[in-house]
Chains A and B, each alone.
Chain A
Amino acid sequence: MGNKAVIVENASIRFGTHNALCKVSFQIEEGDIATVVGPNGGGKSTLLKAILGLVELNSGSIKIFGQEAKQVKRTDIGYVPQIKTLDRSFPALPIELVATGVLGFWPQKFDKKLREICLDALEKVAASHLSKRPLSKLSGGELQRIYLARSIVRKPKLLILDEPATGIDQASEYDLNSLIGKYQEESNATVLMVTHDWEAAYHHADYVLMLNCCQICYAPPKIAFEEKNLRQAFGHIGHKHEMIFGVKRND
């Protein structure tokens, strides 16, 4: 026990002259849930991409299960990207997108086994009924489910999610969070998730990383969500803090 899934040390990333990430250091134990919060442009997605080996560090280091980001076995990491404007002109079925999670490339044909594995993953996220609908005709929330299925179908040890609940109604967001929680419990995977939902982070995370280019804090939610941290990360926060945490923090 006590093995580290992720170790980030003094990680800095610059784009041209613009600092996106500045001396970030934290560690996630295997089986923990860590969330990343911070303002827009705070470097959250950039950090995840560095952990995935998609962006090079300018200095510092990242170790995943004791290895360099690029050396980690492909199937050890599941990734749900921040929803972008999906290229809706690309002809694809949800089951194909899920299959990339198994294969690591785009499928040509399905054999029985592959189809079963993919349908199984879709069923886990309550999206079996979508398997044959064109990707271009799915709603934002339906699409997020497919991406989630794609990320868990390979049974990763580390699940990385970039705002998986964006654009999703509250009931579905609750579903999505519980789906992630369920996978985490079943597989004892480590979860690293970017979210703008402070309340969910407060309740579900073991640790919270607060980022605004610089690292504001990395601590259990009760400490991380103290008002001074939030002010430092987000500037003016008005009454939002009281509204979300006021009651709970007084008990």
Chain B
Amino acid sequence: MIEIFSLAFIQRAAVAGILIGFVTSYYGVFIVQRKLSFLGSGLAHSAFGGAALGILLETEPLWVALPFTIIISILIVYLKEKSKLSGDTSIGILFSLSVALGIIFLSLKKGYTSDAFTYLFGSILSVQKIDLLFSLLLALLSVATFFSQWKKWAYATFDAELAQADRVSVVKDDYLLSILISVTIVVSIKVVGIVLLTAFLVIPAASSRLISSTFYQMTIYSIIIGVLSSFIGLIASIQMDLPTGAVIILIQTVFFIVALILSKK
């Protein structure tokens, strides 16, 4: 138990897992309350297009996936604002486009698809120093937004018009939130995998919603649930030699069921 933590890659995985558990469950509360879980899933798939392009260009996929996903997220907000289409329609269009591009990029890169699978299902073993560095920077940035942005995001989440009447720059704040969610998603997919990422964004926040009477409480509980389940899930998956992302989600679901029972009391 103790000795597994002496292995370098396990250390990296543990730190990355906890950081990712933190950022996903933090932004998750906004995703859940703004009913954006489809955005989370859409952006995760968009990141696949970017990562595939990175693989094709033989550079670090993260470097390509990051700007690629941010651009897609900005396009989604832009398309929604400028056209009469609903948010999920513009997400649907851009997300399928990204996946289609990803598939084409990978097919151009003949006989080299193992990396792509890492992105689809996640692999804790593949966490590199650079991923760790990014997770750390993102986590620090997110802590900073908790003190500077949270109160404005929360206000706009409750009622964008009231916030705007109080001179909150709602549109600018929404772009910032979208960008940070994109970064969170790109940084997380290596560990969690595209397919399972939505759970990280949704389950801790939803569990927390069940037992919270204020949005502040919901944020705090969500982070606690997110970090705890990542940590527990990581250790359990290594012990049992099971895929980490999937095990973490099982643990999250246990938290959800407990919250459900508590909320019915």
- A-side residues, CB < 8 A to B, are 49, 52-54, 70, 74, 77, 79, 81, 87, 89-93, 96-97, 100, 103-109, 134
Whether the pair B215, A92 counts as a contact (CB closer than 8 A) is: yes
Pick the contact of B215: A79, A81, A90, A104 (CB < 8 A).
A90
Pick the contact of B218: A53, A81, A91, A103 (CB < 8 A).
A91
Residue of A nearest to B84 (CB): A16
Does B38 sit within 8 A of A, measured CB to CB? no
Kindly provide the distance from the CB of B41 to the nearest chain A CB, expressed in whole angstroms: 19
Q: Taking A81-B159, A100-B162, A104-B166 as given, write out 13 further A-B residue pairs in contact, using a Cβ cutoff of 8 Å, ordered by the A residue number.
A: A49-B161, A53-B165, A74-B167, A77-B165, A87-B33, A90-B215, A91-B209, A91-B217, A92-B158, A96-B215, A104-B168, A106-B155, A107-B151
Whether the pair A105, B213 counts as a contact (CB closer than 8 A) is: no
A-B contact pairs, 6 of them (CB 8 A): A74-B167, A81-B159, A93-B213, A96-B214, A100-B155, A106-B150
Residue of B nearest to A150 (CB): B162
Does B157 sit within 8 A of A, measured CB to CB? yes
Pick the contact of A105: B159, B168, B214 (CB < 8 A).
B168
In the complex, which residues of chain A have a beta carbon less than 8 angstroms from the beta carbon of B214?
A: 91-93, 96
Residue of A nearest to B219 (CB): A108
How far, in whole Å, are A49 and B186 apart by their CA atoms in the complex? 39
Kindly provide the distance from the CB of B194 to the nearest chain A CB, expressed in whole angstroms: 27
In the complex, which residues of chain A have a beta carbon less than 8 angstroms from the beta carbon of B164?
A: 54
* B side interface size, CB within 8 A: 25
How far, in whole Å, are A29 and B162 apart by their CA atoms in the complex? 25
Kindly provide the distance from the CB of B202 to the nearest chain A CB, expressed in whole angstroms: 13
In the complex, which residues of chain A have a beta carbon less than 8 angstroms from the beta carbon of B161?
A: 49, 54, 81
Interface readout for B25-53 with A: 1 if CB under 8 Å, 0 if not?
00000000100000000000000000000
Does B253 sit within 8 A of A, measured CB to CB? no
In the complex, which residues of chain A have a beta carbon less than 8 angstroms from the beta carbon of B157?
A: 90
How far, in whole Å, are A107 and B213 apart by their CA atoms in the complex? 13
Whether the pair B212, A91 counts as a contact (CB closer than 8 A) is: yes
In the complex, which residues of chain A have a beta carbon less than 8 angstroms from the beta carbon of B163?
A: 105
Whether the pair A100, B213 counts as a contact (CB closer than 8 A) is: no
Does B109 sit within 8 A of A, measured CB to CB? no
Residue of B nearest to A48 (CB): B165
Kindly provide the distance from the CB of A100 to the nearest chain B CB, expressed in whole angstroms: 6
Known A-B contacts A74-B166, A89-B33; A105 and B155 likewise in contact (beta carbons under 8 Å): yes
